[in-house]
């Protein structure tokens, strides 16, 4: 039975309508007359987190397959028609989700809805199609991971930090798994995860709400529901000892990667760590950036990022070192700055600046119709509530010194990190 629509008030000006159809599809509508465009997103609650060892990379492979032929449209027709109308289209796969999105003039809405609803249920999969896209993905893996130091080292960090949880295997998949996929693997994956009950459709921009809701109900509403098996993810045990890996790669200079286990995006502690990361790595004044890049000149670049995943993830630091410098030097400075934080704390001025930087970035990301649709779809898919978008920014804006220091002490504790020391391979 289709549930009655509910209205979610966000930021004092957004009126988001959420409706769940009888087949399980979640629809989010945000009319925005300030823009002349429409953005249509389809999010599926499936990513590499849903995969098991031996079948890694299927979610990413489907990102490629979904642009193929359906029972009623030939391969490439969707892209050609949207390009003719001046629209933009793309897709992405990550640990917790897969997403397809289009931004276009309002007159293209019927076309987009026709194609998106069609490929949700009518995708044509053959042995030839699967073999062709497997080859494309295998080449992508060679280019982005196996032949590039950054891709290889990022993969090494995660597979070392996560020994149990599915976050330890890469979204693109291991090469042996990619090469072994069969047509039946793909058909089963499609039947399991590409169904209305596992999808969130978000429409933001210039449109009539009642008209668009009626069209979505008419196109996707008749699709029968499909049971999606409950997700069984093994919880990563608490890491009690530091894991350190030394590796040599062909690259011009050394690199340092460090990952600390932290709570997932739904935990308020994650927001406090976003503020702390900005204090350490934000702009040229970040403590670690200032120490490693400008003062000691050990690194040519330094960055940090707090993961925004459904399950506990990583606070990551990466240093690209100057030629001739060793990763141990950068690690020593990083340890000194972190010890200062734990000993002396952070200032109120640093916290206010970090909160303001994050608030600016957050709201800048919501200026366009695509930005609005992206954030609504992300929070509805990952946390099951698009209203969490407002809670998230409140948590960041309200994170005080006590919150930041509590998060720092919980994160920068003995053994809770993985270190990758990468040095150039000499011929």
The residues annotated with a catalytic role in the active site are 63
Angle between helices 183-193 and 58-65 (to 10 degrees): 90
Residue 80 CB: number of other CB atoms within 10 A?
Answer: 9
Q: Contact at 8 Å (CB) between 157 and 168?
A: no
Tokens standing for 274? 């976003």
Distance between CA atoms of residues 423 and 420, nearest Å: 10
Angle between helices 268-281 and 348-364 (to 10 degrees): 110
The full 3-state SS of the chain, as one line of letters, equals CCCCCEEEEECCCEEEEEEECCCCCEEEEEECCCCCCEEEEEEECCCHHHCCCCCCCHHHHHHHHCCCCECCCCCCHHHHHHHHCCCEEEEEECCCCEEEEEEECHHHHHHHHHHHHHHHHCECCCHHHHHHHHHHHHHHHHHHHHCCHHHHHHHHHHHHHCCCCHHHCCCCCCHHHHHHCCHHHHHHHHHHHCCHHHEEEEEEECCCHHHHHHHHHHHHCCCCCCCCCCCCCCCCCCCCCCEEEEEEECCCCCEEEEEEEECCCCCHHHHHHHHHHHHHHCCCCCHHHHHHHHHCCCEEEEEEEECCCCCCEEEEEEEEECCCCCHHHHHHHHHHHHHHHHHHCCCHHHHHHHHHHHHHHHHHCCCCHHHHHHHHHHHHHHHCCCCHHHHHHHHHHHCCHHHHHHHHHHHCCCCCEEEEEEEECCC
Q: Contact at 8 Å (CB) between 60 and 242?
A: no
Distance between CA atoms of residues 189 and 182, nearest Å: 11
Name the residue with tokens 């993830």: 313
**Phi-psi sector, 115: left (phi>0), alpha (psi -120 to 50), beta:** alpha
């Amino acid at each position: 039975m289709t549930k009655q629509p509910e209205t979610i008030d966000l930021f004092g000006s957004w009126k988001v309508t959420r409706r769940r159809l009888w087949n399980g599809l979640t629809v989010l509508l945000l009319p925005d007359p300030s823009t002349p465009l429409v953005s249509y997103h389809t999010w599926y609650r499936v990513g590499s987190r849903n995969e098991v060892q031996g079948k890694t990379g299927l979610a990413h492979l489907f990102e490629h397959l979904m642009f193929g032929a359906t029972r009623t449209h030939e391969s490439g027709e969707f892209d050609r028609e949207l390009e003719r109308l001046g629209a933009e289209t793309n897709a992405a796969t990550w640990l917790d989700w897969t997403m397809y999105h289009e931004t276009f003039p309002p007159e293209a809405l019927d076309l987009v809805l026709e194609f998106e609803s069609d490929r949700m249920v009518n995708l044509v999969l053959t042995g030839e199609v699967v073999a062709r896209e497997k080859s494309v993905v295998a080449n992508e893996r060679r280019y982005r991971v196996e032949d590039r130091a950054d891709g290889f080292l990022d993969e090494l960090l995660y597979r070392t930090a996560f020994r149990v949880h599915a976050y330890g295997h890469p979204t693109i998949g291991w090469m042996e798994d990619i090469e072994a996929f069969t047509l039946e693997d793909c058909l089963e994956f499609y039947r399991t995860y590409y169904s209305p009950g596992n999808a969130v459709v978000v429409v933001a921009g210039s449109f009539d709400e009642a008209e668009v809701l009626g069209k979505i109900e008419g196109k996707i509403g008749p699709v029968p529901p499909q049971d999606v098996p409950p997700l069984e993810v093994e919880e990563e045990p608490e890491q009690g000892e530091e894991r350190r890996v030394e590796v040599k790669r062909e690259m011009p200079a050394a690199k340092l990667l460090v990952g600390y286990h932290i709570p997932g995006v739904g935990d308020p502690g994650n927001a406090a760590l976003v503020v702390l990361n900005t204090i350490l790595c934000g702009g040229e004044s970040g403590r670690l950036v200032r120490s490693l890049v400008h003062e000691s000149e050990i690194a040519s670049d330094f960055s940090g990022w707090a993961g925004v995943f459904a399950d506990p993830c990583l606070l990551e630091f990466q240093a690209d070192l100057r030629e001739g410098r060793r990763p141990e030097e950068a690690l020593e400075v990083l340890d000194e700055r972190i010890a200062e934080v734990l000993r002396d704390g952070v200032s109120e001025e640093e916290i206010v600046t970090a909160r303001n930087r994050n608030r600016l970035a957050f709201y800048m990301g919501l200026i366009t119709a695509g930005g609005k649709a992206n954030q609504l779809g992300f929070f509805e898919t990952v946390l099951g509530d698009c209203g969490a978008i407002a809670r998230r920014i409140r948590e960041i804006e309200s994170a005080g010194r006590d919150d930041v220091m509590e998060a720092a002490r919980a994160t920068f504790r003995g053994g809770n990190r993985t270190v990758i020391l990468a040095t150039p391979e000499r011929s």
